[in-house]
Chains A and B, each alone.
Chain A
Amino acid sequence: RKEVEQDPGPFNVPEGATVAFNCTYSNSASQSFFWYRQDCRKEPKLLMSVYSSGNEDGRFTAQLNRASQYISLLIRDSKLSDSATYLCVVNPSYNQGGKLIFGQGTELSVKP
């Protein structure tokens, strides 16, 4: 079983749609959680951290359920520029010193 699992997609949605990505992680001791965005042939870029209470940044909302070991990302009012691969990323523990575990990514394509 992979440490971080995501639906690879692709998700093809029209502009303006709301889309949700899900992610599960296997290590219950995991400490920090992130969503990264990766454009084609580019480096991953931090989109947002994910907090237990849930957090929002503009059109993006992230949720964490520690009991279910489940992370989600909701994108409202999708834009063409949101097309990218979204990576669910977990820091397994403080003892691991910042090592990140990546999911395989979910590809999003927003169409006009």
Chain B
Amino acid sequence: EAGVTQFPSHSVIEKGQTVTLRCDPISGHDNLYWYRRVMGKEIKFLLHFVKESKQDESGMPNNRFLAERTGGTYSTLKVQPAELEDSGVYFCASSPRDRLNYGYTFGSGTRLTVV
């Protein structure tokens, strides 16, 4: 089966611009997660979708971040306007509905650099 796909793999934008990251989960996976790793820090949870609904968005840093999952398939994470501290690697992951408490599959990430 195809894995979790993220696009773009890299993005360099200027402070104040907008960037939209996309994640295509494994087909049929109801659970979709966004995580982020900023330099020198551990990977941190951003939010969790179950189908199209936001189950937990406690990790979203601020209102400059907007995540959507229309139709319960792919998801987008928009940063508007981007700030320097938003630089990092953004990972998406997915898991089947009945495997919430098992490890899940990560995409290869989007490396975002804000200059």
Contacts and interface: CB of A to CB of B under 8 A. Distances in A.
A87 B111 CA distance: 19
Contacts of A100: 33, 35, 45
Contacts of B108: 42-43
Interface in A23-62: 31-32, 34, 36, 41-46, 49
Contact of B106 (A31, A32, A44, A96): A44
B101 A44 contact: no
Contacts of B17: none
Interface residues of A, number: 27
Contact of B102 (A43, A49, A96, A99): A49
Interface string B94-111: 010000111111111101
A112 interface: no
A102 B43 contact: yes
Interface string B2-28: 000000000000000000000000000
B43 A44 contact: yes
Contacts of A105: 42
B103 A96 contact: no
A96 B45 CA distance: 11
Interface string B44-66: 11001010000110110000000
B91 to A, nearest CB: 6
A97 B56 contact: yes
B101 A98 contact: yes
B91 A49 contact: no
Contacts of B104: 46, 98
Interface string A73-102: 000000000000001010100101111111
Contact of B33 (A34, A42, A98, A103): A98
Given A97-B48, A99-B48, A99-B56, A49 B42 contact: no
Interface of B: 31, 33, 35, 41-45, 48, 50, 55-56, 58-59, 91, 95, 100-109, 111
14 contacts: A2-B42, A32-B102, A43-B91, A44-B43, A96-B56, A97-B100, A98-B33, A98-B100, A98-B101, A98-B104, A99-B48, A99-B58, A100-B33, A102-B44
